[in-house]
Amino acid sequence: MRPPAATGRILLVDDDRAFRVSTAALLRQDGYEVHPVADGEEAVAALRQQRFDLMLLDLRLPGMNGLRIVEALRLWGEGVPILMISGFGTVETAVEALHLGADDFLGKPVEPEILSARVADLLARRPGVESIPESSFCGMVGRSAGMLEVFDAVRRVAATDATVLVTGETGTGKELVARAIHDSSARRRGPFQAVNCASLAEGLLETELFGHVRGSFTGAVGDKQGLFEAAHGGTLFLDEIGDISLNLQQRLLRVLQEREVRRVGSVRATPVDVRVVAATRRDLRREVAEERFREDLFYRLNVFPITLPPLRERAADIPLLVEAAMAGARRTRPRLACSPLAMRTLRAHSWPGNVRELMAALESAAIRADGDRIEAQHLPLEVRAPLEHDAAGGDRYRVHDAHGDERSTILAALEEAGGSRARAAEILGMGRTTLWRKMRLYDIASNGDH
């Protein structure tokens, strides 16, 4: 028996006639209604006339480049899911397409089964089919617009081997993001190796990363495999990357460029297949400007940036995080809960230590509370007295660049608007195009207008 026919209307945009004909036939066999066109202008005209559930878009088109179409569509606030297809797919263009708002990417030649599966996947995500956004992803909880963007970015980049740079203040969850990328990627069965670059002296870090051969320095009694080799087939997490010396930055750049490592003291290079996720709480652009961080390495790492918003910009996540924090204590006190005043106090605090500080505050409050209710007085003093605390030390934690305030305002508006760019633009009193441009400027990822 044949499975029930799939439904959905697909706009197929490709200048290659043979591909158009065969793909249209394949998708029609799957039960879809297909509207094939040959270039960007026809695509735009078709989109103006009718509603589509999915667009299959060639990256290189005569007249209008596929990337520009994605950008234009997202500018109009069009939410049609886009599957990019290209014969010239490099990681960089795939990443750019995904960043501009394409939902998925396939390189040619496209296997019919893979295409069918991806199309079905994307159509299953249609609004209305699944309307409640998830509030957790790979151990991270959150439902603020900012965190939903992070989940989305993680999911997108997990499908590629692109290098990821995770930034955000201390305690915002950078390490969790690195693990989530590994766990949701095809490398999840491979190793996940992590190193904190700030915790080791330069020489130690060098041998830790690249390994050494026997006798390469006093005390090198045997051969040692470095983390790059140990992470072969998996993911290497370079935490606190902003803290490595200029000398090691150069070594690292070579490995990332050549995809092979040379152990200290060895002339032989070993090829490695490793996805690198780097994290820092520093502002790397500023480190570059002040010549503490190599610009070329910065661009190598910054292929796909993910920025974690500070907790004070995502108050909507606090009740969920409180639930997560109390899960442990609930094992023995199943009715443990926060009083409304305690919850209001938590939402009002500025959380310089972000999620880590929140988790610790609740853990101690649960110990201090005798009964089943956490009251405001059980919370740590600095959480209860936000004003005094801010006056004393809040400034240290302000966003470091001059754009910080505007970025926060935009994030707050997006959150209030439930992620809708059109509504956020209204709240801010700016045009949608201006908002879109600013979002790109401040690296605020967009997940469409829903």
Ligand X SMILES: Nc1ncnc2c1ncn2[C@@H]1O[C@H](COP(=O)(O)OP(=O)(O)OP(=O)(O)O)[C@@H](O)[C@H]1O
Residue of minimal Cβ distance to ligand X? 173
Contact predicate 182/192, CB 8 Å: yes
CB of residue 171 to Mg ion, shortest distance in Å:
8
Query: 23 or 185, CB closer to ligand X?
Result: 185
359 close to 321: Cβ distance less than 8 angstroms: yes
Could you tell me the smallest distance in angstroms from the CB atom of residue 37 to ligand X? 42
Please answer whether residues 86 and 58 qualify as being in contact, where contact means their C-beta atoms are separated by less than 8 angstroms.
yes
170 binds ligand X (CB under 6 A): yes
| Number of CB atoms found within 10 A of residue 82's CB | 27
The answer to the question of residue 242 lying near ligand X (CB under 6 A) is no
Q: Does 175 bind ligand X (CB under 6 A)?
A: yes
Closest approach, Cβ 175 to Mg ion, in A, equals 4
Tell me the per-residue interface mask from 118 to 147 with ligand X, x by CB under 6 A, - otherwise. ----------------------xxx-----
Q: Which one, 174 or 251, has the nearer CB to ligand X?
A: 174
Task: Provide, rounded to whole angstroms, the least separation between the CB of residue 177 and Mg ion.
Answer: 10
| b/e code 213-232 from CB counts within 10 Å (16+ = b) | beebeeebeeebebbbbbbb
Position 284 contacts ligand X (CB under 6 A): no
Report DSSP state, residue 133.
P
Q: Is 63 left (phi over 0), alpha (psi -120 to 50) or beta?
A: left
Least distance in Å: CB of 272 to Mg ion? 24
- Residue ranges in 176-195 that form contacts with ligand X under rule CB under 6 A: 176
Count of residues interacting with Mg ion (CB under 5 A): 1
H-assigned helices in 260-398: 284-289, 295-301, 318-330, 340-348, 354-368, 381-384, 386-393
Strand 337-338 to strand 192-196: parallel, antiparallel, or no bridges (unpaired)? unpaired
Q: What's the min distance (Å) between Cβ of 321 and ligand X?
A: 6
Question: For residues 152-211, which are near Mg ion according to CB under 5 A?
Answer: 175
Cross-strand bridge partners of residue 58: 85
Size of the site for ligand X (CB under 6 A): 17
d(CA 352, CA 368): 22
Partner whose binding site includes residue 173, from Mg ion, ligand X, none (CB under 5 to 8 Å by kind): ligand X
Q: Is 235 in the site for ligand X (CB under 6 A)?
A: no
Q: Give, as ranges, the residues between 294 and 333 that touch Mg ion (CB under 5 A).
A: none
Cis amide prior to 109 (ω within 30 degrees): yes
In terms of phi and psi (left: phi > 0; alpha: psi -120 to 50; beta: otherwise), the region of 4 is beta
Nearer to Mg ion, 101 or 171 (CB): 171
Instruction: Of 147, 166, 167, 148, give the one whose Cα is nearest residue 276.
Output: 166
Return the residue of 138, 230, 359, 376 that touches ligand X, per CB under 6 A.
359
Give me the residues that bind ligand X (CB under 6 A), please: 140-142, 168, 170-176, 281, 321, 324, 355-356, 359
Give me the residues that bind Mg ion (CB under 5 A), please: 175
